Amino acid sequence: MPAVISYCIPCWRPVYARLLIDDLIRKTAAPYEILLWLNMEDGAFEEFLGAKVLEGRPVRIVGKSPENRGMAVLKELMEAAKHRMIVQIDDDVVRVSAGIAEYAEDVFRRHPKVRQLTADVWQDEYVTGARPPLSAYRAYDEKDGLLDGPIDGWFSVYHRDLMPLIRTLIPGEYWGLGNEVQGFLPRLGYKGLLCTKFKVFHVNSPQYAHHFGMLDFETEKYRRLGRIDLVREYEKAKAAMPPAGELEARVAAIAAVIDGFRP
């Protein structure tokens, strides 16, 4: 059975989302679609998406809202998905490895109890990618790169079998769908796992946000959320930011590693 995949992206940060969409198009060889919900008004971004459609890319705006509905739009995006694998992606994932659809399809086929796979992330002294240390995980299948431990929705691949479960969940603006689904799966006899055979660059650090021109945006986001701990972290990092050349070289090196990464 060929791999077919639907990418679902709630978009709020076009600077990142452009990079993500371009990379998904470059890296996906299987039949795919990119479904978007625009949590903002941005004419230039819509022109960018329109250009992709004119190129024949399977990009579709499922909905728009002038206010940021955040992750609450995921259910609507996933309901609109037509393929057997449905992927929840944070819009600040800016690089992905190749062959994800084919490998996920193969894992789901050979491990029928596995119905959710979350991508591993690039980590260094500046970024965690939202993944805890590997010491928090235990092996499920070492050969297939499957680890049992904390996951969420930075890049989470769901088998379509899970849609009846997902429909019962109550969404919110900052909804940890990936983590919530993983918590329910054992009751259904299924597993949600981390997969180290595919990797993404998830920008959740002040240093890399600065590189992409998003540091002030991210700082204000955390301020609105009342996450004063993260506001302080970002402001402290801003005062001791590495040179632009160093960050540019690091991001280029990360891209090269992820571009060469294969299952």
pLDDT digits (tens, 9 = 90+) for 164-186: 999 999 998 889 999 999 999 99
**Contact criterion met (CB below 8 Å) for 95 and 200:** yes
HEC readout, 160-180? HHHHHHHHHCCCCCCCCHHHH
Q: What is the mean pLDDT of the chain?
A: 96
Bridge partners (DSSP) listed for residue 117 = 157, 193
Domain with CATH 3.90.550.10 in the chain: 5-203
User: In this predicted structure, what is the pLDDT of residue 238?
Assistant: 94
Total-model pTM? 0.96
Using the predicted structure, report yes or no on whether residue 3 has a pLDDT greater than 90.
Answer: no
pLDDT of residue 22: 98
Task: Determine the pLDDT at residue 173.
Answer: 84
CATH number of 5-203: 3.90.550.10
pLDDT in tens, 76-111: 999 999 999 999 999 999 999 999 999 999 999 999
For 182-241, the pLDDT digits (tens) are 999 999 999 999 999 999 999 999 999 999 999 999 999 999 889 999 999 999 999 999
Q: How far apart are CA 222 and CA 228, in angstroms?
A: 7
In angstroms, the CA 247 to CA 101 distance is 30
Report the distance separating Cα 160 and Cα 117, nearest Å.
12
Q: What percent of the chain has pLDDT over 90?
A: 94
Which amino acid, one-letter code, is at 74? L
| Long-range Cβ pairs for the range 138-144 (8 Å, 24+) | 140/114, 140/191, 140/193, 141/111, 144/107, 144/110, 144/111, 144/195, 144/197
Residue 241 DSSP SS3: coil
Residue 260 pLDDT: 96
Q: What is the token pair recorded at 31?
A: 């039949």
2 pLDDT higher than 90: no
pLDDT of amino acid 172: 85
- The residue-averaged pLDDT of 141-146 equals 98
Q: Reply yes or no on whether the pLDDT at 68 is more than 90.
A: no
Count of residues for the chain? 263
| pLDDT for 189 | 96
Q: How many helices (H) and strands (E) does the chain have?
A: 10, 10
